[in-house]
Structure 1
Amino acid sequence: RGQALWHVAAWPVLREPYRLASRHFAFEGRCFVLAVATCLKKEELLAAVPAGEKAARAFLDSVPVDEDGFLLEGGVAAYAPDGRPLAAHAAEKGGLHLFEVNPAQALEAAANLDVAGHYSRPDIITLQLRESKA
């Protein structure tokens, strides 16, 4: 109760630093994390640029794409509340991914590492900063 069960991490791409950040968030937040990356074709981006924006269109035309015309090929990864990967990273260029999870894992993980709970004792511990010289 009161604990987040899911976090959706939306990234431009799912390179290793983004996967690592998502895994860390799962571990520290003790929640499931679904990391998703943008899936975008050059033609979709060009369609959003007004015809009069010749410099922008010329720049986009110069950007290389893969054999299917993708600028960003998307991707998905999922992590358990203890940081374990639930599914390997997949750059799918769109698609549907299903993950089966057990919500009790989040509660169990929170009991193992409660970052603001059982060892946080503001009633007996305080931190004070004295700015004057002793």
Structure 2
Amino acid sequence: MKDLVALSGGHTLGFAHCSSFQNRIHNFDATHDIDPTMNPSFAASLRSVCPMHNKVKKAGANLDPSPVAFDNAYYKRLLQGKSLFSSDQALLTAPKTKKLVSKFAASQKAFEKAFVRSMIKMSRISGAGQEIRLDCEVVN
């Protein structure tokens, strides 16, 4: 569980296209247009960049305000309801993972230490003949 929360911090880097989070800002469910766990003003800003029938292929949003800095801003934003992905927001649904999110939001050093430990642990996983993708969206 700690590895999952620590490695999710990799979402402090990068950019997401509208298609990756569109389901949270338009027609979320039968009773909500926007995911109720999402900060309303954040959702509104995303909707302005990603309208319902978005045709702009490169439209989207940075994963956090410092998309090229490896920092703990991701966790801070997550606690504010400002995450793009529902998988990230789900980290707040269980008390143990929420506690870790809070810990990493409060301490850059704790996040970095956990991330390094988890990344090393993950590097030991054998792919059993599977390839590591150079681009997550495309099979090598």
Alignment TM-score, normalising by the size of structure 1 = 0.23
**Whose helix proportion is higher, 1 or 2?**
2
User: Between Structure 1 and Structure 2, whose CA radius of gyration is higher?
Assistant: 1
Q: Which has the higher contact order (CA 8 A, sep 6+)?
A: 2
